[in-house]
Chain A
Amino acid sequence: MTDVTPPGDPAPLLSVTDLSVGFKGHTETVTVVDHVSFSLRAGETLGIVGESGSGKTVSSLALLGLLPASARVTGSAKFDGRELVGMPPRKLRDVRGNDISVIFQEPMTSLDPAFTVGNQLSEAYRNHRGGSRRKALDRAAEMLRLVGIPEPQRRLGEYPHSFSGGMRQRVMIAMALICSPKLLIADEPTTALDVTIQSQILELLKSLQAELGMAMIFVTHDLGVVASVCDAVSVMYAGQVIEESPIDEFFSHPLHPYSAGLLDSMPQSVAKGERLRMIAGTVPPPSRFPVGCRFHPRCKYVVEACTTTPPELDSVEGDRKVRCIRHAELTLEVAK
């Protein structure tokens, strides 16, 4: 667990333990997320980082039971005293959009094109809070104002196609927050947007979080975003957590060669004129995860033992964890 909880503090808001997800195929079940654990307290932000295909989205959707029927989810996810894994669908629906909300990577397609924005927003509100249509629409207008959409009353009557990508993501945020959830899962909320819009949405999420006091899981492949938003970070690779750490220690000295590689490839850590240092290779598909350390085909520090022994997630320095058999002997330097 990313124990950002100092000893003696109240129980975490969400505590995920050994969460695994497999997808049933024609012949066998492919495990895509493998014993993932993390936790966070009320009001905190946890970053989940990793390249595309490492299992970030699947892990977040698994928490709310939003995966397709072919998914097999095991492990535990305790939220506010309730177990989410295996929770009956009716109970889970009371949690979705009410206690925990999600915003997705695809703002262009995540709103229903056949209904007005006002209809979709007020539907989210009335589903949990009931009350009149009028009252729900007032609340919807208030939310649109909160996320910085001008002329909210008029825009409530419009369909998603008359909103730009950035505006649609604002609408999604308004919809996610309309019932004041305790936790917001933001799955790469800015990846599909233009750079200038990206920073606006990011600023908006930060200010809303401060204002509403909710906790946030921020899924991203961009460490720059993590640095500006998160209290702690959990790095995923090939379906596993490979490092967990409070944010400052992580940026000053990463423990896992993959984390170091990610930090090295941040545009900020590259001097002007120098080429971006990317980690060579790509994340393998779940059906071809390597034996031993899953990162070993791409690791600069690989030794014989890495190719045979799967490393455990070891605790180090009290509140950090790392999954690398050589972590004690390696000193990873990140270019500044």
Chain B
Amino acid sequence: MLTFIIRRILALIPLLFIVSVIVFGLILLVPGDAAITLAGGDAATRPRILLVRHQLGLDKPFLSQYVSWLGNALHLDFGRSLYSNQTVVSEVWQRFPVTLQIAGGALFFGLLIGVPLGIISGIRPRSVTDRAVVIGTSAAIAMPSFWLALILVLNLAVYRQILPSRGFVQFSTSPYEWFRHLLLPWISLGVLAAATIARQLRGALADVMSSDHIRTSRSKGLAPIKVVGKHGLKNASAPVLTVVGLQVAYLIGGTVIVEQIFGIAGLGTYVLTAITRDDLPAIQGSVMFIALLTVFVNLLVDISYALLNPKVRVE
């Protein structure tokens, strides 16, 4: 198992290298003289242009720019924001917990709703409940999360005022208010995750339930809860895990929009602001961070995959 994990981590190195090239290459997309544009375009003052040019190393050849950028990045140094003058890492680190709470809560919501739905429809494909689940999840998958967020805000926060429409409260300040403020973001993002997980589990479980070894389990006299809960779910969990890994990437992307709608200052807002202000170090640093996060989650998925499936470990 340990060698499996090490092999997986080593396999990530080329991937991360490619990501770093792309992230650094963002600078090529900056129109005109990058230093002038990033310093504020027409409004840029001469000293500021020189400062930006020097800070980003734009006065050096491209390759050496990349090498020194990568060298710093390996030490988790992405430079300073062109606006706040704080280090990008400290700003990202400050914003990340909020986003983690939104995305993590949404994933939890997705599992909480998606897994039971997947089970009840997967054990009886084509039954009435199954058809209802299929229709419901199709609708949920087709529905954009920003649209769902707006409808929820309008109904529950604006007209009925049951829940707050904006803002964020730290858990340490008030767990109750924390929950109330995060509930709508969680649902807006989590419905898609729930529907996707339910559909994947439904398909996987239906396949497993018609397999020979499930017939064996039943022929031993096991109760349905054991047959489905132990033998069914463990065999159906691998494809579901893959989907959960993909959902994490979608959820992190989705927080960008949801943070805007609910006025929460998380990583998504940070990236968006950085982009509108052409704050290149901030963009590079946060995108790299999100890429690392996604890769890390997928590594966890791979490892759990191997834990669940004895054959993967051998190969």
User: Which chain A residues have a beta carbon within 8 Å of chain B's beta carbons?
Assistant: 64, 66, 68-69, 93-98, 101-102, 104, 106, 109-115, 123-124, 127-128, 159, 161, 172, 175
Contacts and interface: CB of A to CB of B under 8 A. Distances in A.
B221 A97 contact: yes
A109 B213 contact: yes
B235 A66 contact: no
Contacts of B210: 68
Contacts of A64: 219
B211 interface: yes
A106 B310 contact: no
Contacts of B226: 123, 127
Nearest to B237: A114
18 contacts: A66-B215, A68-B210, A93-B221, A95-B221, A110-B213, A110-B215, A112-B213, A112-B217, A113-B310, A114-B231, A114-B308, A115-B230, A115-B234, A123-B220, A124-B220, A127-B220, A159-B310, A161-B314
B218 interface: yes
Contact of B222 (A68, A93, A110): A93
Contacts, number: 71
Contacts of B217: 112
A159 B307 CA distance: 13
A175 B223 CA distance: 17
B160 interface: no
Nearest to A64: B219
Given A66-B218, A94-B221, A127-B221, A114 B235 contact: yes
Contacts of A112: 213, 216-217, 231, 235
A182 to B, nearest CB: 14
Contacts of B222: 93, 123, 127
Contacts of B213: 109-113
Contacts of B220: 96-97, 123-124, 127, 175
B309 interface: yes
A118 B226 CA distance: 17
Interface string B186-227: 000000000000000000000000111101111111110010
A110 B222 CA distance: 15
Contacts of A115: 230-231, 234
A102 B219 contact: yes
Interface residues of B, number: 24
A111 B314 CA distance: 18
Nearest to B308: A114
A115 B309 CA distance: 9
Contact of B212 (A98, A109, A114): A109
B218 A96 contact: yes
A229 B41 CA distance: 93
A128 B223 CA distance: 11
Contacts of A96: 218-221
A101 B231 contact: no
Leading 6 A-B pairs by shortest Cβ distance: A96-B221, A97-B220, A97-B221, A109-B212, A159-B310, A112-B213
Nearest to A108: B212
B75 interface: no
A320 to B, nearest CB: 32
A172 B215 CA distance: 12
Given A112-B213, A123-B222, A124-B220, 18 more contacts: A66-B215, A68-B210, A96-B220, A96-B221, A97-B220, A104-B212, A110-B213, A111-B216, A112-B216, A112-B231, A113-B235, A113-B309, A113-B310, A114-B308, A114-B309, A114-B310, A115-B231, A127-B221
A106 B221 contact: no
Most chain B CB within 10 A, of A97, A114, A128, is at: A114
B46 interface: no
A53 B210 CA distance: 19
B284 to A, nearest CB: 43
Contacts of B124: 69
Contact of B219 (A66, A128, A159): A66
A124 B218 CA distance: 10
A159 B311 CA distance: 9
Contact of A98 (B221, B308, B309): B221
Given A114-B310, A161-B310, A175-B220, A106 B212 contact: yes
Contacts of A114: 231, 234-235, 308-310
A115 B220 CA distance: 15
A113 B218 CA distance: 16
A30 B119 CA distance: 30
Residue of B234, B309, B310, B314 with highest tally of chain A CB at under 10 A:
B310
A128 to B, nearest CB: 6
B217 to A, nearest CB: 7
Nearest to B233: A114
Contacts of B221: 93-98, 124, 127-128
Nearest to A93: B221
Interface string B298-315: 000000000011110010
B131 to A, nearest CB: 15
Which of A68, A94, A113, A161 counts the most B-chain CB atoms under 10 A from its CB?
A113
Nearest to B213: A112
A172 B218 CA distance: 13
Nearest to A119: B230
